Amino acid sequence: MVENGYLTLEYILDGKKLKLGDGELAKAAQQASDDYIDWNPKGSTSSEERYEFDIADSHCNPWYVSEAPKEDPSKKSPKFQPQVTAPIPLEGVYDYFETMNTKREEEYNSALMPSNNGRGYRFREPSRLEWVREEYFQASPNGFKTSEKDVLAFFSLVMSYIKGAEKLDEESPKELSKIMPRTNFPTIYGLVKDKIKGNTDKLYDIVKILACYTSDEWGTQISLDQEFCSGPLSDPVPNGKIDGLEYNLSDENGGKTTRQIIKVQDWVNSIQSPVDGTDLLSKADKEVFKGSIGGLGSTLETMLGSGKEVPIFEFRRIQSRAPCDWPDFADEVESELKRIHERYR
């Protein structure tokens, strides 16, 4: 829903019916492409020329197309921005974080990467991508160090949502990362918690030290994030800023405003000690925006060729494609996902 009285046209390929590896994804994309091309809607703001149609079971008929290209839809217009939801092992998520911090867009070689307009993805506002790597643990936060990809991916996800908290201007937290977990954070944490051994059992004691680190645009140089800490890289001292960070979620619907304000510290604690079965950020997103981040709850799926359970992620802001390109894009996506599953199964 864009605003009252308007809808955005979408085609949804049902992942509950289309399974990775069954070879049906490109066929479904072809059917969607054919449907749009056969429909060939024309847009006009003129009431005399507008294209009207009815939607089954809608109480608001007739509808009309307010914006559509006048070109032949079998060509390269219009373009739709795809989103892809799929089970991904955390090790594969780490690879995406690394790629988007160290390579230029033309070097991605991936159907799932977002369009960056030539800059490091991490620096596209309001979204951030915090690539946490082994060097972020040089101070042994809470007596803990790690170099394992799945653990680093978990902390990369957490830090991406923490460092972006101030930039969340009454929007859904889904805007804070182009790789959005649909499985909630407590469930993802459960996949790696046995590998996280600190002096205390508090995840936040690790997180507030990780906030002390940042890197340059292409991820080549690690430095102290002076917004959060002081001191040397080997022993940074938090300045307390992270303790005061909050998420401000607000939405107005039908004249009623729904608002949730959550402290970052409380959110991190809820990853370890869930509230109503989930973390506070996923819970608030569901209450305010109907739920995107963590919206599938504790759902996990098994990888191809193994019984390994992995979280579900949504890839957002992918390069737009015209309907005639959807089948090839779907084939590229499925091939890429299969490679990831084969690599880490």
Do residues 229 and 241 make contact, with C-beta atoms less than 8 angstroms apart? no
CA nearest neighbour of 155 among 93, 99, 101: 93
Q: What is d(CA 61, CA 176) in angstroms, rounded to the nearest whole number?
A: 36
Do residues 291 and 73 make contact, with C-beta atoms less than 8 angstroms apart? no
Q: What would you report as the CA-atom Rg of the chain, rounded to the nearest whole angstrom?
A: 22
Cis peptide before 274 (omega within 30 of 0): no
CA nearest neighbour of 185 among 207, 170, 168: 207
CA nearest neighbour of 303 among 253, 344, 242: 344
Tokens 């009309």: give the residue: 64
pLDDT digits (tens, 9 = 90+) for 292-302: 899 999 999 99
Q: Which two tokens stand for residue 39?
A: 């429909």
Q: Which residue(s) pair with 312 in the sheet? A: 87
Q: What is the DSSP letter of 301?
A: E
Buried b (16+ CB within 10 A) or exposed e, 238-252: eeeebeebebebebe
The neighbour count for residue 33, using CB atoms within 10 Å, is 23
Chunked in runs of 10, what are the mean pLDDT values of the chain (345 residues)?
A: 68 89 92 89 58 84 74 75 95 92 75 61 52 95 95 96 81 83 97 89 94 82 95 96 92 76 96 95 90 93 93 92 94 95 94
Residue-level pLDDT at 120: 41
Q: Which residue(s) pair with 192 in the sheet? A: none
Residue-level pLDDT at 105: 67
Q: What is d(CA 316, CA 181) in angstroms, rounded to the nearest whole number?
A: 11
Q: What is d(CA 129, CA 135) in angstroms, rounded to the nearest whole number?
A: 17
Give the global pTM.
0.89
Residue-level pLDDT at 236: 97
Alpha helices in the chain (DSSP H): 25-39, 90-102, 149-163, 185-192, 203-210, 241-244, 264-272, 280-289, 326-344
Residue-level pLDDT at 46: 53
Cβ contacts of residue 275 below 8 Å, gap of 6+? 283
CA nearest neighbour of 311 among 64, 86, 143: 86
Cis peptide before 126 (omega within 30 of 0): yes
pLDDT digits (tens, 9 = 90+) for 109-163: 788 887 654 344 343 443 468 899 999 999 999 999 999 999 999 999 999 999 9
Give me the DSSP letters along 94-154: HHHHHHHHHS-GGG---SSSBP-TTS-GGGSSS-------GGGGTT-GGG-----HHHHHH
